[in-house]
Amino acid sequence: MRTALSVLLLATLTLTACQSRYNPINWFGNDTEVQATSEAEGEINPLVPNGGNTENKGIFSKRPEPVYAGTILSQVASVKVHRIPEGAMIEVVGVSNIHGVHSLKLDPQNEGEPVNGVLTYNLLGVHPKGGYTGGSQQSREVTVAHVLTTEQLSNVRTIRVVAAQNARETRR
C-alpha cells in the first residue's frame, strides 16, 4: 500500500513539473488581454450562440410556459374564503359534466383587479379525452384553491366565481 501511494505521489509531482500537454495545469493555457466590444454598437457577442438569437436555445435553457388547455367547468357548487397569515385562501368546489377533470385553475378577470369592489374569477379545468359522463354529482366534484395576499384584498368587498351554468359570490 505504501509503495503504491509513493509511486502515485511521485508520478503526480513529476507530471505537474513538466511542460507537456498531459499536465492538467497546462490544459487551458495562459490568459491574454483582448479588446472589449460593446453589443450596443451592433456587434455580435461571440459567447452567445446564434449571435444573440433566442429562438434556438440549448438543451439546458428554460422552456417556455406551456399554454393552459383548460375550459370552463359547468357549475360552481360552493365558494369559501379562509383567513390565512398571508391574506386569504379561496376554496371553490365545482361540478364538471364529465369525470376526470384535472389541472384546475381560477382564472382572474380584469388582470386580477377588482371592479367596483368585485374580484371575478372563471373556474377552469382540463377535460380528458374520452371521459365519460353520468354518475352522481358528488363523483364529478372537483376542488381548487387560490391564495390572495392582503395587498390584493385591499379594495375587494366581493369575490365572484363564474362557471358555464351559474356563478357564486361571497362577501366580506
- The Cα–Cα gap between 81 and 127 comes to 26
User: 86 to each of 148, 151, 156, how far by Cα in Å?
Assistant: 8, 9, 15
- Spell out, as residue ranges, where the chain has pLDDT lower than 50: 30-34, 36-39, 51
The closest alpha carbon to 164, from 135, 116, 127, belongs to: 127
User: What phi and psi, each to the nearest 5 degrees, are found at residue 123?
Assistant: -90, 110
- The Cα–Cα gap between 128 and 138 comes to 18
Count the Cβ atoms, other than its own, within 10 Å of residue 4. 8
- Strands of the sheet containing 87-95, edge to edge, are 75-84, 87-95, 141-149
- The Cα–Cα gap between 89 and 74 comes to 22
pLDDT of 102: 92
The closest alpha carbon to 138, from 78, 80, 79, belongs to: 78
Count the Cβ atoms, other than its own, within 10 Å of residue 61. 10
Taking only the tens place, the pLDDT of each residue in 33-71 is 445 444 455 566 666 665 455 555 667 777 778 888 889
